[in-house]
Each structure stands twice: as structure tokens, then as C-alpha cells.
Structure 1
Amino acid sequence: MGSLFSNSITLRKSVRISDEEFVQLRDFIYEKSGIFVDEKRKYLFESRFSKRLAELRLNSFSEYIKYLKFDAMKHQELTKLFELVTTNETSFYRDIPQLKAFQEKVLKEKLDEQRDAGKLELNIWSAGCSSGEEPYTLSIMLHELLRMELARWKISITAVDLSPAMIEHAQKGVYKEYAFKTTPDEIKARYFTEVEDGWKIKPPVTRLVNFRQMNLNETPSLKRIPRSHVVFCRNVIIYFDLDMKKRVVSSFYDNLLPGGYMMLGHSETLHKISSSFKPVYHPGTIAYRKED
């Protein structure tokens, strides 16, 4: 039986998806997650899903669509589906020019504003946090800026992702060498401890971060996020169509406190999505401010 199954895996690596099956699966994914897969990426389904079909011993994408809709394990399969559709490519201190501008300009400005107002508190929302590198980087930045003063502050970084597997990885806080490809050596030495499986982030950093599994397509869930001074959503809205982008960005706007900032990926823009924010230009990044 083992050899027969191995052969079937080999054969199924080239499972083709018809136009009708592609539309059905694409629409199902959009309904559940808001992620829109363009027809030009049809090959993605064939390359990424064929192995999954073999693991489930399914012969076609039509069978897989039925499995997603009607099988007793359909809820667990949704988790796997989301992992196959998204790309969890990330690292600590990813896009250093943008983060440098954020730390030295935007974050410093917000901390100064809060001090001047006599409110030593800061809420950050990391939307689409993947395996945790982004929110932990933000926590490290706050440690770097505030140093001994940090103990006087009430700081919360709410980090959400669609994938339960990514949230579990993030909560463990252990990372391989690849995750540090853009990380300054002194940061790695200061905030991580070498362990058997890689490098574990130190407790003072993790204490500022709260992880939640969340679907950005579920508006009621988004409303439970604490009002934020900063929203980070980098390289996430690229997965959405225009309608979904508008809805998600509108939710971010509603969540932000007056004067708060939204940060997108360096190649992302609000052009045709929203005119509610004021773009603030810094070398290395654009910060989108919610006016008072």
C-alpha cells in the first residue's frame, strides 16, 4: 500500500485544475478569507495543492472543493488551505530603511506625544504578523528607545494572523538562522538566547506582545482589537482585491486613535483605496496619519 501511495503522489504532482474548478476554489477562498487569487496565478493552485490532494487521497480539485465544503474535517482543512494560499516570507528587521524611519521619526513622535499628554501608554496592532518576527521587532524597538523608562509605560502590541500554525510558531518564539538575515548582530545578541532548536527571544520582549488568530475578513473580530496608536499591516493587502482592501483599510482607520499612524509595506500604497489618511513622507517610508 505504501508504494502504491507513493506512486500516486508522483502522478498527482501534475494534477491540473480546470477553469471551472479554479473559479470555484478561488471564490471559496475569497468568501472565507477575503484573499483574492488572480487568474494569472492559476499555476499556484496546481503547484501548491497537488501534494495536498495526494495527502488526502483525492483525485481532482473538484473532490477537494467538496472536501472543503462538506467533510467532517473541513474546519481543520481551512487552516491548511490558508497556509497554502499565503506566503509567510518574513524576518526580523525586514526592510531596514522603512523600520529605521519608523523608529526614528514615527515611533519617537508618538512616544513624545504621549509623554507630553501625560499618558505613558501605547497600543500597536500588527495585522498579518505571520510567525511573529514583525511584532517582536516592534517590541525590540520600544526597548531600544525607552530603555530603563520602559517599566513606567503600559505598552501592548496585538499581533494577529490568519494561520493558527503561524500563531503557534510565534508564541514559541524560537527561530532559525534564516530569520535573522536582516537583523543587526548586536540586536540578536541582546534580545535572543541560543537554544538547541535555534534562537529564543527573551521574555522582556515577548511580554509586550499578545497573539491572536484572526481573519481580517471578519469585521466583528476586528472591532475587538484595542484602539491603536499605530497599525502595522505590511505585505498583507496585496492578497486582497480592491473591495476587500477598502474594507480592511477602513477598519484600520476606525481602530486608530486620532493622530495615529498606519504603516504599509514599502511597495504598497493607498492609491484608489482610501483618501482618509494624510501621507507623511520620510526617507525610506510613507506613514499614513489619521488626522485629529
Structure 2
Amino acid sequence: MQGLMIFLEVVVVLLLLLEVFVRLRARRRRLQQRDAQLSPEARKKVPLSSVQESPVSLPEVLPVHPHSEQGGALQEALSIDDLLNEANIYLEYGHYAQAATVLRWYVDLNPHETRVINQLLDTYLALADMDSYAGLLESLGEKSGRVPMDESWWRERVEHGLQQDPGNLELLVLAEKVGMAVPLPQEQGAEPPMTAEMALALVARNRDPHYGMAILWRAIAHEPLRLPLYAELLRITHQQHLLEDYINALILLYLTVGYKAKTLRERMLRAGEDLGNHPLWTVLADWDGNPETLRQLACSRQLEIPGSLPLT
């Protein structure tokens, strides 16, 4: 399962790189065509860098002197469009970290673009990167004369951040600045749901296995049909030689994929057997597809089954 996921990730990244390369080549051709249509006098005024770009990396497409010359203005328009297009490609394939990097470049150049700012803030929320979320709001607050957002927008954005990270100091300070009452800590059990995207992002940023397992169990309770959650949980428990925790994750995986996913189940079962002997290996190997058998097994192990898992 892990090998298949890595292979799919590599394919997606290669497709993204191909898409970016094609877009950059098309932009370069447009620049050359525009330059060919300019009069000799106008061509002399166009900076050489605006028509002799090399599509090496995204930072190189940013304009250096956006309003100095006609060619510079044309380069800026094309570069800005390319940044947004590339960010949208990253978002479409779920590569939020790369999308956040590109969108941040855009916002730094265009702090008045509310739509893109909202897109970047939503991307930070998907990543559960609350430090970057709060940092962006703080930097926008320092440029209050250049940003068009009204008081209701600030309140809404600060509130969204505090719902996900109630103890964030920067957000609490911003809440006071916009006249919001500082929210009280949430009662135990009232925490917001953990999505699969948030959980995987948090686990990638924090290498503590016990923290990662707790986050993944929360996400499985909220979205039990997301296979990447089980893949990551099985990876951590196997790496840490946590036999009982591996079996618990495997029982839920069996319930999720069902009897037809025989190849996947057998592969995960063989990986678990490497951790040591256990009487349940035979039970899981001989499973006949009856979900009630697994539910009784989970109950005997005091393993909570998410209510949204299918009964058959």
C-alpha cells in the first residue's frame, strides 16, 4: 500500500512538472511573438530580460521592474497569470504546501487582491499551518492602508483561525485589536473535526509517533473511508513495532475496504506478521467477508468503530 501511494505521488509530481514546463514555454513564445510585433523603436525600449527568459524556476518569472517599460508591464501581466495558474494546478492535485508558496509570492506582490488572500488563508487552514495563517494576517494588518478588507472580514478570519487553534497568541492579539472578545477555551470533546488533509499535514510536520497516531485516529473517526489515513497509521505502528495498535488499525482497514480488496488485505497482513506472532493473524487471514465478525473482534478489543463505516 505504501509503495503504491509513493508511486502515485511520483506520477502526480511528474505531471505537475510537465504542466508547469508547458505553461512556461507557452508564455515564452507569447513574449517572443509580442516582441516581434513591436516597432523597431519600441523594441529598443524593451528590456532584454523580458524576452530572453529561461523557464528554470518559479521565482525567476517574477517581474523586477514591473512598471518601468512596455515590455516590463507585459512581463508582469503574464507572470502574475502564470503564478495563479500554477497555484491552481497544485491545489487541484492536493499539493497544498507548494500552492501556499506560490500564492504567498503573489500576495506579497498584490496585497490588495482579496480573492487570492482568501485562497491562501484557506490553504493554510487545509495545511493546519496556523503560524503562517496568523503571520499573514499580521502582515496584512501592518499594511492596513493598502488592503481593502473591512472589519467584518477581519473578525471572520480571526475567528476561523481561533476555531482551529484557540491558543494561538498572534491570533488572540489580533482578536483584541479588532475588538473581538477573546474566546474561552473549548470544553473537552468540543474540538473541531480533524479532516484527512489536516491530519496528514500535521503528521508530516511532527515526527512524534504518539502524536501522529492520536491525530490519525481523530481523523479516522471523522472520515473513516480515507485510505491514506490507514496507510499512514499502519506505517507508524509498524515502524514503532506497536503490534496491538497495528492490529487495531488493520481491523478497521478490513472493515473499510471489504472482502473484495484481497490483495491489499493480504499485503498488510504479511507486514503485520513481521512484527511477531499473534493469534489474530490466523483469524484475519481466514476472514470470510462477514463484517459482523470484525465488529465483534473490535468490541472484544475495546476498539471503537466509526459509525459511518458501511455495515456490509
Higher strand share: 1
Q: Does the alignment reach a TM-score above 0.5?
A: no
Higher helix share: 2
Bigger Rg, structure 1 or 2 = 2
